[in-house]
Amino acid sequence: MLVIVNNSVFLISRIILFFVATMFIFKTIQAVDLAKVFKPNSGDQIRFLYMVISVILGYFFVDAIVSLFENLNNLL
């Protein structure tokens, strides 16, 4: 099968884009005010929740984008 780009390029881009996307998603999610849901003085728990959500969403976002490019590469 003819492949235009080597698969290791997709692995490296997946790792790099994961950290970049996680950073942007973390900054974006901080705009949501969860202080009303949590008890007072629970800033650490809110930050931890933001980080967990941003890691999960970052993984899904990068996986969707890179998988799309991998499939396009395999079609060509």
- Which pLDDT score is estimated for 7? 80
- Asked if pLDDT for residue 1 goes beyond 60, the answer is no
pLDDT in tens, 3-62: 678 888 999 999 999 999 999 999 999 998 888 888 888 889 999 999 999 999 999 999
Q: What is the pTM of this model?
A: 0.83
* Start-to-end CA span in the chain (Å): 9
Reported for 50-53, long-range contacts at CB under 8 A and 24+ positions apart, including other chains, are 50/26, 51/26, 53/25, 53/29
